[in-house]
Structure 1
Amino acid sequence: MQRGQNRISSMAGVAMTLAVTLMAGGCATGSEPATPIWQAGSPASSTIAAPPSPSAAASKSASPSPSPSPSPSKTAAPSPTPSKTKAANYTYVFPVPGSPVSYHPTHATNPATDIFANCGNPVLAVTSGTIVEISRKDEFVKGRPDGPLNGGFFVSLVGDDGVRYYGSHMSVVDAGIEPGVRVRAGQRLGNVGKTGNANNVCHLHFGISPPCAEAGDWWIRRGAIWPAPYLDSWREQGNKSPAAASAEYMQANGCPKAPY
């Protein structure tokens, strides 16, 4: 009996010793600290937020961020439309160069000017435009009433400024000066002469008028706007324009029918 009890006690002691040993091994006493789970590669490590990879960061930074709409550039603003009254942008030239040259601010029968110069002096286009009428015939007969033959040889042009310019009593109208031909400011049109009713005096009858639609409207073509203020400006290389005066004349008078 005693022997049986001793055997049972011995077995219990062995079991107790074994339990103590297992508990001591679980704490890893005397060994290196246990490796953290997220560094050990266990399934739990996949739930840890790892730093983004370089390729992912690059992809993220490459996506365009919304940017505010650019404000309109100051140079993009449309430029103002040039005013029709800014005729000073056109170039004007005194019609008879050289010396001696003179003219009077008034005229005997209509708003025009006689520019006195030597026969043969050049006659120039006062501005760029289009030739609308010419004459290379002198069919004037002294004693007849005033009419379209008064001017003898003449040239009429409508400038790009919308004004008609007329020069008559010329001795020559240059070759190539024909209706429909474009001319530039300062281009030679012909020579000063004394054809028509020039009373045998070398001069250029110079008239400014609105461009009426009817060809042969000599009573307007010969002059409707006093030229002297403009000639004064052009002779000093100024750019005074008769465009406004021409428009005002048309508004007030139109193009009346011939007085004959």
Structure 2
Amino acid sequence: METVTRVEIMRSGHFGLRAAAAAALLLTGACTQAPGLAGVSAQSPSAPSLSATPSGPAPTAEGQAAAQPPKGDDPVNVPPPKLSKYTYAFPVKGCKTSYQRKLLVLPKTTIWAKQGCAFVAPIDGVVDEVNLVNKWNPATDAGADREGRFVTIIGDDGVRYLGGHLDVVADGVKPGVRVKAGQLLGRVGKTGNARDTGSNLYFAISWKTGPAYWWVRRGMVKPWDYLDAWDSGNRTFSPREETLKLRGKLGETPPCAVQCGTRPAAPQSSKSPRPKKTGGGGDEDVVITINPSIAPFGQ
């Protein structure tokens, strides 16, 4: 009995030593490792270096192309919308020009250009009137003569176009001759009451009447919107509709309203009187209005 007791005690001592050793090992591991779940290593995986080369296949050319946004096609030039069946040309060709965009006494405009610049037909049509002689006299300043040398055409659109203050009229331009848009009709000058101004083209839009109704040809429709379009916008922008509408409202031969008569002749002197110089083509010098019931000068 005593022997058994000693053996058991000895065994108990061995087990105690082993238990103590195991406890020491556990305590040592707890101090050297980060806490974690049981059965799972608490050691964090090493983070990849930022400078390390990424693993996997190298990107292909197709892949790189897919990553780049596709390039757009070159812009397509779209012509302006066709506003009429007619095509127009700016009435001064091959020269730098400027012109007024406001109403000054008459619904016409003054296109400033160097003397000798080409005045061309603004549309296909037929020559209507041609004046080869500069009849204007500053002493009387007759309204019918203010444009000096001029050419008018009746366009295929039914509209009349006037180019005045011409230096010369082109050879072969006479009434009844058919012309094409852009064809030379004359050269910009200073005839008529533009004598004391810079060279310019008196440009007016109206409708066909007889020569006696000269005030109609001097301008009935404001032209600058059409000039703007023909010069840099849409060359099919037509004054036909506006012109026909106004003719229907006023009649084909409306009475003269401005610059209708003549200035009283000045007494003869050794020096001819000269008109006041203006910057508007000379047409703003004198405005003479008469009673429409009185037959105007030139009729």
Asked whether 1:248 is paired with 2:245, we answer: yes
Asked whether 1:147 is paired with 2:143, we answer: yes
C-alpha contact (below 8 Å) 1:210/1:249 kept by paired residues: no
SS of match in other structure, 1:88 = coil
- CA-CA distance at 1:106 after TM superposition: 2.1
C-alpha contact (below 8 Å) 1:167/1:205 kept by paired residues: yes
Distance in 2 (CA, whole Å) between partners of 1:182 and 1:94 is 18
How many residue pairs get matched? 174
Structure 1 residue corresponding to 2:206, chosen from 190, 196, 209: 209
- CA-CA distance at 1:107 after TM superposition: 4.2
Q: Which amino acid aligns with 1:103?
A: Y
Quote the residue 2:125 is aligned against.
Answer: 129
C-alpha contact (below 8 Å) 2:149/2:168 kept by paired residues: yes
- CA-CA distance at 1:257 after TM superposition: 4.3
Distance in 2 (CA, whole Å) between partners of 1:128 and 1:119 is 25
Distance in 1 (CA, whole Å) between partners of 2:142 and 2:245 is 26
Quote the residue 2:105 is aligned against.
Answer: 109
Q: Percent identity?
A: 40
SS of match in other structure, 1:171 = strand
Distance in 2 (CA, whole Å) between partners of 1:216 and 1:234 is 31
Q: Which amino acid aligns with 2:242?
A: A
- CA-CA distance at 1:256 after TM superposition: 2.0
| Higher share of residues assigned helix | 1
Distance in 1 (CA, whole Å) between partners of 2:121 and 2:91 is 6
Distance in 1 (CA, whole Å) between partners of 2:149 and 2:112 is 16
Quote the residue 2:58 is aligned against.
Answer: none
Deviation per residue, 1:138-184 (Å, 9 max, x gap): 11011424421111110000000000000100001011100011101
Give ranges in structure 1 of 5+ residues lacking alignment: 1-85
C-alpha contact (below 8 Å) 1:170/1:191 kept by paired residues: yes
Quote the residue 2:191 is aligned against.
Answer: 195
C-alpha contact (below 8 Å) 1:107/1:114 kept by paired residues: no
C-alpha contact (below 8 Å) 2:93/2:118 kept by paired residues: yes
Q: Which amino acid aligns with 1:127?
A: I
Structure 2 residue corresponding to 1:186, chosen from 179, 182, 196: 182
Distance in 2 (CA, whole Å) between partners of 1:145 and 1:188 is 29
- CA-CA distance at 1:99 after TM superposition: 3.3
C-alpha contact (below 8 Å) 1:126/1:186 kept by paired residues: yes
Quote the residue 2:155 is aligned against.
Answer: 159
- CA-CA distance at 1:237 after TM superposition: 5.1
- CA-CA distance at 1:211 after TM superposition: 1.5
C-alpha contact (below 8 Å) 1:134/1:154 kept by paired residues: yes
SS of match in other structure, 1:191 = strand
SS of match in other structure, 2:84 = helix
C-alpha contact (below 8 Å) 2:136/2:142 kept by paired residues: no
Distance in 1 (CA, whole Å) between partners of 2:231 and 2:132 is 28
C-alpha RMSD of matched pairs (Å): 1.6
Structure 2 residue corresponding to 1:220, chosen from 216, 220, 225: 216
C-alpha contact (below 8 Å) 1:114/1:203 kept by paired residues: yes
Distance in 2 (CA, whole Å) between partners of 1:115 and 1:101 is 6
- CA-CA distance at 1:117 after TM superposition: 0.2
Distance in 1 (CA, whole Å) between partners of 2:166 and 2:175 is 17
Structure 1 range deviating more: 110-119 or 249-258? 249-258
C-alpha contact (below 8 Å) 1:116/1:202 kept by paired residues: yes
Distance in 2 (CA, whole Å) between partners of 1:165 and 1:237 is 20
C-alpha contact (below 8 Å) 1:172/1:193 kept by paired residues: yes
Distance in 1 (CA, whole Å) between partners of 2:155 and 2:187 is 20
C-alpha contact (below 8 Å) 1:230/1:242 kept by paired residues: yes
Q: 1:136 to 1:181 in 2, by over 3 A?
A: same
- CA-CA distance at 1:210 after TM superposition: 1.6
Deviation per residue, 1:62-109 (Å, 9 max, x gap): xxxxxxxxxxxxxxxxxxxxxxxx971111000002332100112422
SS of match in other structure, 2:191 = coil
Q: 1:246 to 1:160 in 2, by over 3 A?
A: same
